[in-house]
Amino acid sequence: QDLDGDIKREHTMGILIHGDAAFTGQGVVSESLQMSGLPGDKVGGIVHIVVNNQIGFTAGPKDLFSTYYCTDLAKMIEAPILHANGDYPESVMKAVHVATEYQGEFGADAVIDMVCYRRRGHNEGDEPMYTQPLLYQKISNHPTVRTHYTELLVRRGIMTQEECDAVGDAFDRELKVALEASRKLSADAGQQETEALVPTDTWSEKDWCNEISRDTAVDVDELKDIIVATNTMPEGHVVHPNLLRQLKRREEMIGGERDLDWGCAETLAFGSLIKGGMSLRLAGQDSGRGTFSHRHAVVRDQRTADDYLPLDTLNEDAHVEVHDSLLSEEAALSFEYGYALANPQAMVLWEAQFGDFANGAQIPIDQFLSAGEAKWSQLAGVTILLPHGYDGQGPEHSNARPERFLQLCAEGNMTVANCSTASQYFHLLRRQGLAGNHRRPLILFTPKSMLRDPRAASPREDLANDRFEEVIIDAPGGKEKVKRVVFCSGKVYHDLVDYRRETGREDEVALIRLEQLYPFPRARVQHIAEQHADCEFIYCQEEPRNMGAWSFASQRFNELGIAPRYSGRAASASPATGSYTLHHSQQACLLASAIDRA
């Protein structure tokens, strides 16, 4: 609809086909219905067709829903529900006609409950008589839909029995031809040639893991223009005084008076892509302001509560949207995945309120995000922003579960990154946006306390001159003096820098930031290992040993002949402790283990 300029959502109709068991049982259905009238998710109404065969594998209606009809769930949005007898196609068509007329007239959802039956088992090996003996005795003696409709057509004199049989025979022949064609496909069709690769490699990963990022620098004058434009409000738009101070600081940042923080770098990345003609859509819980009040992409008038979207003023040819989503992960992320699939040229981002909450979207992550390209050759380059980091906020607000995403990585199917500075974030967002048709999902662990931390801030020159660096080496004394090499990723790097300085080991300890975890930067890591062959290697992370990137990275280190010692929290059932005191004690121990403990 956005590609066609269908702002009123009047020229395109969506159709969803459900099973009765799934319509009542899957939470994503309820979440999606709730989204149907929300500003960021309106599509002008969906026609839902529920194939109500009165069974879910082996479970019957009494086990599947508490309502009278399986479609009663749609009453929550006051959608019309039309019940039709699936034995009679014309009855179903009348329901379809009414539903589509309603959708077209009111731009709202309509539901068709097609009451029917499943003639055989759930699959070829299923015997339904075990669990539904009475039902399947009736079904076995019940005429098929084709038989019913043939009799009706003959009775009306519309077609003869012979003509109806000829239609059926022709369709049977088509099916047999298709079956024979499929059998002739060679067993190895479409398989790629193989060669001697290391165990974790496939062709795609081998070709991609050592790529150097493209140039993503932006001229300082252009960056200044973006800040001027995004800081300019309409006449009479009353901005909160605290936000005015924050916007003023952005002017100082781009003027070179102070380093750029995370929010400013993000605004510049988005703004530069939009000025280049790219459409952008950002959605998620609290994404307009940002969970941690760092973004303010949407500026709300303090007097009228009207919203203003400064990014939308940068290029009239680019479509820009920023939306706060409903309190959902599964349906919300699924919607953004679908948007990215339909509009591959747009920069589409979904942000979790905290990265921990992404586990509510595990189904679309597993089935679509990570495997959509492998299963259906469909690229959907959605970017997922997951606030992550150990700041003492407890087990539900610390860990975006990097290990789960890394476990899904194969064949170059996605990028997983954990940036340590604002400039790295800027360049990675731009790299993702400029990837075009080659854009794959980007899983990006973003900071919380680091959003305003001076240690993570960057001078404006880093945006104007550099590109995203997959690996960053920090060895102040030069490689000749290094005795210990500590690999790390994300926020913990800054704590390691402070501890190294406090203990006077800046010359002896080199800190290696893995900014990109997948595709694993194999060549860069191997080069570092060869340069420090006589050194001790450590891998340091904040997460417990059974979480984070340790399991993923240690396998790849081992394949390169590196055997780093683990430095981090002990294996734990919970992602983090609920005690602030214990958190700091654990953090101190892992830093000491990485920097100065033998």
Angle (nearest 5°) at CA 24 between 23 and 29: 50
Residue 201 has a pLDDT of 52
Per-residue pLDDT at 438 exceeds 90 = no
Domain match, 100 and 183 both: no
Residues 77, 111 contacting (CB under 8 angstroms): no
Give the tens place of pLDDT for each residue, 309-334.
999 999 999 999 999 999 999 999 99
* Domain, as residue range, for 91: 2-142
**Side-chain-facing half-sphere of 592: CA atoms under 13 Å:** 6
Task: Tell me the CATH number at 424.
Answer: 3.40.50.12470
| Number of neighbours of residue 16 by Cβ within 10 angstroms | 14
SS3 call for 579: coil
Q: Please tell me whether the peptide bond between 199 and the residue prior to it is cis, using omega within 30 degrees of 0.
A: no
SS3 call for 205: helix
Domain match, 105 and 185 both: no
Residue 15 has a pLDDT of 96
Residues 282, 258 contacting (CB under 8 angstroms): no
Per-residue pLDDT at 383 exceeds 50 = yes
Domain match, 451 and 481 both: no
Q: What is the mean pLDDT of the chain?
A: 93
| Number of neighbours of residue 38 by Cβ within 10 angstroms | 14
| Paired strand residues for 15 | 47
Does 441 fall in a domain? Answer: yes
Does 212 fall in a domain? Answer: no
Residue where one domain finishes, among candidates 414, 435, 465 = 465
347-351 sheet: strands from edge to edge = 320-324, 280-284, 347-351, 383-387, 442-446, 415-418, 516-518
Per-residue pLDDT at 348 exceeds 60 = yes
Does 208 fall in a domain? Answer: no
Residue 196 has a pLDDT of 47
Residue 262 host element (H or E): helix 262-275
Alpha helices in 157-261, H assignment, sequence order: 161-184, 203-208, 220-231, 241-254
Domain match, 291 and 438 both: yes
Residue 184 has a pLDDT of 82
Could you give the C-alpha distances from 9 to 37, 334, 473, 530, in angstroms and in order? 12, 20, 51, 59
Mean pLDDT of 104-125: 95
pLDDT class for 337, splitting at 50, 70, 90? very high
Task: Tell me the C-alpha distance between 430 and 417, whole Å.
Answer: 14
Task: Tell me the C-alpha distance between 69 and 48, whole Å.
Answer: 15
Per-residue pLDDT at 395 exceeds 60 = yes
Could you give the C-alpha distances from 465 to 216, 262, 444, 515, 576, in angstroms and in order? 8, 18, 22, 18, 38
Domain match, 411 and 484 both: no
Give the tens place of pLDDT for each residue, 14-53.
999 999 999 999 999 999 999 999 999 999 999 999 999 9
Which phi and psi angles does 232 have, rounded to 5°? Answer: -90, 125
Does 10 fall in a domain? Answer: yes
Closest CA to 547 of 574, 519, 515: 574
Residue where one domain finishes, among candidates 427, 442, 465 = 465
Residues present in the chain in total: 598
Task: Tell me the C-alpha distance between 181 and 529, whole Å.
Answer: 53
SS3 call for 545: coil
The better pLDDT of the pair 110, 184 is held by 110
Per-residue pLDDT at 117 exceeds 70 = yes
For the purposes of burial, counting CB atoms within 10 Å of the CB of 187, is it exposed (0-12), middle (13-18) or buried (19 or more)?
A: exposed
Domain match, 293 and 411 both: yes
Percent of the chain with pLDDT over 90: 89
Task: Tell me the C-alpha distance between 166 and 171, whole Å.
Answer: 9
Domain match, 241 and 349 both: yes
Strand 516-518 to 415-418 pairing: antiparallel
Alpha helices in 276-319, H assignment, sequence order: none
| Number of neighbours of residue 367 by Cβ within 10 angstroms | 12
Residue 436 has a pLDDT of 83
Domain match, 246 and 326 both: yes
Angle (nearest 5°) at CA 261 between 259 and 264: 105
Domain match, 461 and 484 both: no
Does 160 fall in a domain? Answer: yes
Domain match, 444 and 523 both: no
pLDDT class for 263, splitting at 50, 70, 90? very high
Domain match, 36 and 91 both: yes
Least confident of 123-127, 190-194, 227-231: 190-194
Give the tens place of pLDDT for each residue, 187-202.
455 454 444 455 555 5
State how far Cα 460 lies from the chain centre. 29
Residues 513, 472 contacting (CB under 8 angstroms): yes
Residue where one domain finishes, among candidates 465, 496, 525 = 465
Per-residue pLDDT at 547 exceeds 60 = yes
Could you give the C-alpha distances from 360 to 170, 190, 231, 328, 497, in angstroms and in order? 47, 35, 35, 8, 35
Residues 509, 591 contacting (CB under 8 angstroms): no
Mean pLDDT of 231-255: 97
Does 214 fall in a domain? Answer: no
**For residue 486, which amino acid is it?**
V
Residue 396 has a pLDDT of 94
Task: Tell me the CATH number at 590.
Answer: 3.40.50.11610
Per-residue pLDDT at 430 exceeds 90 = yes
Task: Tell me the C-alpha distance between 384 and 336, whole Å.
Answer: 10
Residue 183 has a pLDDT of 87
Does 204 fall in a domain? Answer: no
pLDDT class for 203, splitting at 50, 70, 90? very low
Task: Tell me the C-alpha distance between 118 and 141, whole Å.
Answer: 13
Task: Tell me the C-alpha distance between 48 and 455, whole Å.
Answer: 52
Mean pLDDT of 70-82: 97
Residue 535 has a pLDDT of 95
Could you give the C-alpha distances from 587 to 257, 501, 571, in angstroms and in order? 33, 16, 14
Residue 477 has a pLDDT of 87
**Into how many domains does the chain fold?**
4
Does 65 fall in a domain? Answer: yes
Mean pLDDT of 430-440: 91
pLDDT class for 208, splitting at 50, 70, 90? low
Closest CA to 430 of 177, 222, 203: 222
Domain match, 382 and 520 both: no
Give the tens place of pLDDT for each residue, 510-521.
999 999 999 999
Give the tens place of pLDDT for each residue, 457-509.
999 999 999 899 999 999 998 889 999 999 999 999 999 999 999 999 999 99
For the purposes of burial, counting CB atoms within 10 Å of the CB of 220, is it exposed (0-12), middle (13-18) or buried (19 or more)?
A: middle
Could you give the C-alpha distances from 393 to 54, 73, 419, in angstroms and in order? 47, 37, 20
Task: Tell me the C-alpha distance between 565 and 185, whole Å.
Answer: 50
Least confident of 177-186, 393-402, 425-434: 177-186
User: How large is the angle between the packed helices 241-254 and 262-275, nearest 10 degrees?
Assistant: 70
Residue 199 has a pLDDT of 54
Task: Tell me the CATH number at 65.
Answer: 3.40.50.970
pLDDT class for 11, splitting at 50, 70, 90? confident
